[in-house]
Amino acid sequence: MEQEIKGLTPWEKVQVSRHPQRPLTIDYIENLFEDFVELHGDRLYGDDPALIGGIGIFKGQGVVIIGHNKGKNVKENVSRNFGMPHPEGYRKALRLMRLAERWHLPVISFIDTPGAYPGIGAEERGQAEAIGRNILEAFEIRSPIIVVVIGEGGSGGALGIGVGDRILMLENAIYSVISPEGCAAIIWKDSKQAERAASALKLTAQDLLRFNIIDEIIPEPPGGAHNDINATIKAVEESIARNLEIICNKDIDSLLEERYQKVRKIGIFEENLVPKAGVEPARSPSST
Amino acid sequence: MHISDWFSRKPKYAVLKPEKKEIPEGLWTRCPKCLEILYNKELERNLKVCSRCGYHFKLGAWERIYQIVDNHEFSELDENLESVDALPFNDGIYLDKLKESKEKTGLNEAIVTGKGKVESFDVFLGVFDFGFIGGSMASVVGEKVTRLFEYGARDRLPVIIVTATGGARMYEGMLSLMQMAKTNAALSRYRRSGGLFISVLSDPSTAGVMASFASQGDVIIAEPGALIGFAGPRVIEQTIKQKLPEGFQSSEFVFQHGMVDIVVERSKLKSTIGRIIRIWNKRLKG
Ligand SMILES: [Zn+2]
């Protein structure tokens, strides 16, 4: 209810997050980084245009940049597979995160994907393995990582480059375990119930801040990022800069410990502490 | 806890309930693959594998546990974790779903975790039950898996997880998705402790659970004929607008593509796990 008064409804946010004029990873790269050098390929099979990677300079600091990238028009969208990576995209991202670690560069990751691509080649080459490995190894990367959810955070395909020390999210971006359409099709056997699913799933930045899944909401211009692209990019720049300074000043071991502990606490359940013979005592609940 | 305790204290867990969908009550069961009529007692003796065509029926969590552990002895851990409607998800749909699944399976959640012995080796074992909301992972499943890796690291014991899952549970929204990160974070630490994680993929093992710890086993074992992958076949067919070839995403298919180490029939699963642990146990100390 509060949301309807304050701003857009969850379903409206879904629309805004997918708006064709919404700034893409490439727009942030062009505006925020000097001397960007795009780096290609996973060294195993191919290069994935749905996931951009490279190196550049952010306010004087060398960084590694990775991000899903949709296209600006139909043709570009087709060549970039609508921002839906194959395993090669995730493996390229991991390769660059390892590079960041060796060079002592922070990583900045931009999330904007409907999801990892569900296709024949993707399955043959281990989509699940690629995403799973990235998620696991991200907890071992000895470099600061900032994640910015700029548009659509589509499930595992987003999380594949979504583990980090700070998770920032644009005000009208979404991040969800399943698309509202997919959820509606399963529960109500009707994808037209997507609006209902969008509010049920709690996929807005405001919801995710409440669940401690993200750290900060970056404000958007009235009506959404597409209404003032420059203002949006400025707001993202300010938030990255501020958070980067904090995490880059931490000792890397404590940063890794914090990265772990934050995720370790996610989850809501009840734990009845009834002592039982023959069973090791359960620990106190890690969450509410 | 010994199996006899289950009879006295928690009869709902002790009875090896056949899965209603796959095996109707009664004396006989029809194999869904070759349509052979199978005598139930015979089928149980054959570990629920069709004696004619080798079809591996789905197992409930406790059925699987008793097939793997020595002497039917298993101490369940963290059974007191209870799911809540945390989001909440659209007017109680989730609570209904939980209630229905608990009644259907006799389980508290989609995974049972605990400690037992396999071929005399102590192990931490977790087994998914597909009958419980499609074996989906949300807060409780994620927490139990995470703790299993923590216990494994603490006690320097192998961790074995048998999956039967459709992925992350949508009724807990992003809390479910983040369990992929949580379990993998714990697995990362468990690995660095030198642990042995055996991931056993049974039918089906897909989506969020595959895209987290299940695909990251030190050794990955698949049961024959299981559906294994990231996206479900229907989603793929809708996306590519064509029919998938026969056997796509089967255990044998993912084996051919290098995604699993061994495809093992059910009768050899326990001995295969035992052999791997035996080798791991003979590692250099220090
Ligand atoms: Zn058969």
In tens, the pLDDT along B110-139 reads: 999 999 999 999 999 999 999 999 999 999
Question: Both tokens of residue B92?
Answer: 């109680």
Confidence band of A6 (pLDDT split at 50, 70, 90): low
* Cβ-contact B98, B154 below 8 angstroms: no
Confidence band of B22 (pLDDT split at 50, 70, 90): low
Chain centroid offset of residue B105 CA = 14
Instruction: Name the residue of chain B whose CA is nearest to A139's CA.
Output: B185
**Is a pLDDT exceeding 60 seen at residue B2?**
no
A-chain residues near B216 (CB < 8 A): 129, 132-133, 136
Strands A145-154 and A166-170: parallel
How large is the average pLDDT for residues A211-230?
97
Confidence band of B3 (pLDDT split at 50, 70, 90): very low
Does residue A148 form part of some domain? yes
Kindly report the backbone phi and psi dihedral angles of residue B198, in degrees, each rounded to the nearest multiple of 5, phi listed first.
Answer: -105, 120
Work out the burial of residue B194: count CB atoms within 10 Å of its CB; fewer than 13 is exposed, 13-18 middle, 19 or more buried. Answer: exposed
How large is the average pLDDT for residues A27-31?
98
* Tens-place pLDDT, residues A160-206: 999 999 999 999 999 999 999 999 999 999 988 999 999 999 999 99
Judge whether B193 is closer than 8 Å to chain A, CB to CB: no
Per-residue confidence (pLDDT) for residue A274, from 0 to 100: 65
Q: Interface pTM (ipTM) of the complex?
A: 0.94
A-chain residues near B84 (CB < 8 A): 268-270
Q: CB neighbours (10 Å) of residue B136?
A: 27
CB contacts < 8 A (A, B)? 207
* Tens-place pLDDT, residues A129-172: 999 999 999 999 999 999 999 999 999 999 999 999 999 999 99
Confidence band of A3 (pLDDT split at 50, 70, 90): very low
Contact check, Cβ <8 Å, A280/B82 = no
What mean pLDDT value characterizes chain B? 93
* Tens-place pLDDT, residues B35-57: 999 999 999 999 999 999 999 99
Contact check, Cβ <8 Å, A125/B240 = no
Instruction: Name the residue of chain A whose CA is nearest to B148's CA.
Output: A282
Q: CB neighbours (10 Å) of residue B71?
A: 10
Domain that holds residue A205: 2-264
Closest approach of B93 to chain A, Cα-based (Å): 9
User: Residue A63's closest CA among A25, A84, A34?
Assistant: A34
B-chain residues near A282 (CB < 8 A): 77-78, 80
Window A:160-189, CB contacts with B under 8 Å: 160, 162-163, 175-178, 182-183, 186-187
Whole-model pTM: value is 0.92
Q: What angle do CA A254, A259, A261 make, to 5 degrees?
A: 90
Query: For a pLDDT cut of 70, what percent of chain A falls above it?
Result: 93
Query: Read out DSSP for B148-166?
Result: HHHHHHHHT--EEEEEEE-
Per-residue confidence (pLDDT) for residue B26, from 0 to 100: 80
Judge whether B1 is closer than 8 Å to chain A, CB to CB: yes
Confidence band of B6 (pLDDT split at 50, 70, 90): very low
Work out the burial of residue A261: count CB atoms within 10 Å of its CB; fewer than 13 is exposed, 13-18 middle, 19 or more buried. Answer: exposed
Window B:136-175, CB contacts with A under 8 Å: 139-140, 142-143, 146-147, 151, 168-170, 172-175
- Candidates A163, A177, A269; nearest CB to B174: A177
- Measure the CA–CA gap between A34 and A60, rounded to whole angstroms: 9
Instruction: Name the residue of chain A whose CA is nearest to B146's CA.
Output: A264
Does residue A150 form part of some domain? yes
Interface test with A, best of B77, B139, B170 (most A CBs within 10 A): B170
Ligand 1 centroid–CA B38 distance in Å is: 8
Judge whether A279 is closer than 8 Å to chain B, CB to CB: yes
Closest approach of A127 to chain B, Cα-based (Å): 6
Task: Give the total number of structural domains in chain A.
Answer: 1
Window A:89-128, CB contacts with B under 8 Å: 116-120, 122-128
- Measure the CA–CA gap between A93 and A69, rounded to whole angstroms: 13
- Measure the CA–CA gap between B93 and B169, rounded to whole angstroms: 13
* Tens-place pLDDT, residues B259-273: 999 999 999 999 999
Window B:97-126, CB contacts with A under 8 Å: 115
Q: What angle do CA A168, A23, A159 make, to 5 degrees?
A: 40
Domain with CATH 3.90.226.10 in chain B: 58-281
- Which CATH number characterizes residue A42's domain? 3.90.226.10
Judge whether B95 is closer than 8 Å to chain A, CB to CB: no
How large is the average pLDDT for residues A12-32?
98
Per-residue confidence (pLDDT) for residue A284, from 0 to 100: 41
Confidence band of B91 (pLDDT split at 50, 70, 90): confident
Per-residue confidence (pLDDT) for residue B8, from 0 to 100: 41
Per-residue confidence (pLDDT) for residue B266, from 0 to 100: 98
Per-residue confidence (pLDDT) for residue B24, from 0 to 100: 54
Does residue A205 form part of some domain? yes
Per-residue confidence (pLDDT) for residue A191, from 0 to 100: 83
* Tens-place pLDDT, residues B171-219: 999 999 999 999 999 999 999 999 999 999 999 999 999 999 999 999 9
Work out the burial of residue B146: count CB atoms within 10 Å of its CB; fewer than 13 is exposed, 13-18 middle, 19 or more buried. Answer: buried
Does residue A195 form part of some domain? yes
Which CATH code, of 3.90.1150.10, 3.90.226.10, 1.10.3720.10, 3.90.180.10, is assigned to B58-281?
3.90.226.10
* Tens-place pLDDT, residues A246-281: 999 999 999 999 999 999 999 999 998 765 554 444
What mean pLDDT value characterizes chain A? 94
**Is a pLDDT exceeding 50 seen at residue A49?**
yes
Closest approach of B169 to chain A, Cα-based (Å): 8
Contact check, Cβ <8 Å, A132/B184 = yes
Contact check, Cβ <8 Å, B1/A279 = yes
A53 DSSP β-pair partners: A66
**Is a pLDDT exceeding 70 seen at residue A286?**
no
